[in-house]
Amino acid sequence: MSAVPYLVVLDANAPSSPDLVGGKASSLVRLMNSGARVPAAFNLTTEAYRRWSQDENLDFVRELIRKGLAKLQLQEGGWKPLIVSIRSGAPISMPGMMDTVLNVGFGETREGWEDFQYEARSAYLDQFVELVLGIEDPAENERSARASTFEDVRDKEAHVRQLCEQMGKPWPADRVEEALMASVAVFRSWNSPRAQLYRKMRGIDDALGTTVTVQQMIFGNRDAESGSGVAFTRNPTTGAPGLNGEFLWAGQGEDVVGGKETASDLTTWQSRHPAFYAEVETIGRALEVASGKVQELEFTVEGDLVYLLQCRPAKLTKVAAVVAATDMVEEGILDKVAALAYTASHGVELSALGESRLRVSATAREIGGGLGVGGGVTQGRLALSLEFARELVGRDEPVIFASIETSPKLLSVMERSAGLLTMRGGASSHAAVVARELHVPCVVGLNGVVDDGHLFLNEHSIAQGDWITIDGDSGRIFPGRAGESFSEMSAAELKLIEWAKASAS
């Protein structure tokens, strides 16, 4: 009988069961087998999580980290020292609900670093404060811990080190201890309030546990030609075929999926780096054909190489799921029975097709817009704070919740909102992904301003509490109640109905 696998070095022959290595590591093995360039990585399995959760034995995790880093050092290429990311990976995808710590292993700030190294170390210290020390909102904490106020990284580092002393926590003496503390923070995030709420909403078993994947960092912020992106093999809002997504020049992947930056679409990147684009497109298409599911790919360009960091089934709007499924039948990827199952997995109920829904009145006056990520048209009262949103929910009034960037920590409000607006972020941000999964109309990258109880769009202003209408498909914003009811079915929906009748007869 073989020993329980606590540590798995990831390669093309590694175990790929999500139940053991989690969805993140499982996707890396699939990418390796597809011929993609994947940074070296190892995984602390769900068995390791369960072993740790019994008594939180740090020596047990430390020894796994030490062994894993030693093996990784033999595989990785490029400059030294080895810098890694520490990422969560549950057996079932939970986008943005657990923690990730990037840029682990630099050690203390030194003279002569390149700009991106200072940036990476600064970002690590911010994550260390929030995720390892557990100080999430410095505005409400007397320590004022977050170091974004420090211009010099060395001053920030000294401040964070002082925080450790004040809180009675050890300052990591080397890269093993840095990786240990980050890994334990990721393990603990399995039981964070937002992760627990998400599992309750989705019916995910609390006993599954999570994994930790430790992977060589690739720096999308290394120079002006580097960057990070997310690509879907079909449009996740409309289902239209062809690579669709975003690319952030000189940025890291967390900036894209976290919604902190508004990236550009893939067009410019494709024109400047057509070979990279073709590489991602080819890999995505192969994965889609093999799985019968629209794929979401995360990738990073560093210098003259493109690296694939994640692949997973994309979360689609109901409209996109219907269009994609019917197209994939025509392309020979799915049969009709599989297409019906695929749409059902995205919440499409055949009995509800053709039911009355909203569209924007022809006389409505548009006052602004951003990137629509799906969900159709909705209307409600504008909420600019959590407190007011909760008040509206308590009065059973529809809420359009608007914020600068929507964090997974706002999940409890997101699930009760009629619609979502964010000033930043794109189609692959956590806000957009969760909104598509919840089937909530959402517009991101609005480029509006929230100030003094108002949302300012161009020369227009909407006060908190006023009615507002949003079109999650087109990204357009309208004042007041601008929706009107209509009922009709698309050609793709009619096909589904026909196939369902045929399969039942």
Contact 190, 209 (CB under 8 A): yes
Q: Do 7-216 and 357-485 fold alike per CATH?
A: no
- 399 beta partners: 381
Class of domain 227-313: alpha beta
SS3 (DSSP) at 74 = helix
The pLDDT value given to residue 139: 38
Contact 68, 153 (CB under 8 A): no
CA 177 to chain centre: 27
Instruction: State the CB neighbour count (10 A cutoff) for residue 140.
Output: 8
What tokens appear for 442 in the block?
């959402």
Measured CA distances, 21 to 10, 12, 25, 252, 326 (Å): 9, 14, 6, 24, 33
Contact 450, 404 (CB under 8 A): yes
The pLDDT value given to residue 439: 87
What does the DSSP assignment read for 197-215? Answer: HHHHHHT--GGG---EEEE
pTM: 0.88
Please state, in angstroms and rounded to a whole number, the distance separating the CA atoms of residues 187 and 87. Answer: 10
The pLDDT value given to residue 5: 94
Question: Mean pLDDT in each 10-residue stretch from start to end of the chain (505 residues)?
Answer: 81 95 97 95 97 96 96 70 93 89 92 91 93 68 46 90 92 94 97 92 94 96 93 95 94 78 88 96 97 97 94 93 98 97 95 91 94 93 94 96 79 88 83 83 91 93 97 96 93 95 87
- 212 beta partners: 44, 88
CA nearest 6: which of 198, 161, 212?
Answer: 212
The pLDDT value given to residue 430: 73
The pLDDT value given to residue 406: 67
Query: Where exactly are the structural domains of the chain?
Result: 7-216, 227-313, 318-354+488-504, 357-485
The pLDDT value given to residue 141: 40
Contact 237, 317 (CB under 8 A): yes
* DSSP character at residue 315: P
CATH code of 7-216, in short, is 3.30.1490.20
What are the helix (H) ranges across 350-505? 386-394, 411-414, 430-438, 491-504
CATH code of 357-485, in short, is 3.50.30.10
Reduce the secondary structure of 317-361 to three states and give it as a string.
CHHHHHHHHHHHHHCCCCCHHHHHHHHHHCCCCHHHCCCCEEEEC
- 10 beta partners: 41
In the chain, the amino acid numbered 70 is A
The pLDDT value given to residue 154: 92
Contact 423, 432 (CB under 8 A): no
Tell me the pairing of strands 442-444 and 212-216. unpaired
The pLDDT value given to residue 138: 43
What tokens appear for 470 in the block?
């949003």
The pLDDT value given to residue 424: 87
The distance between the two most distant Cα atoms of the chain, rounded to a whole number of Å, is 74
Measured CA distances, 213 to 64, 85, 90, 252, 265 (Å): 12, 8, 10, 18, 29
In the chain, the amino acid numbered 138 is P
Helices (H) and strands (E) in the chain, counts: 16, 23
Residues 6+ apart with CB under 8 A from 284: 231, 233, 243, 295, 297, 311
What tokens appear for 495 in the block?
């096909």
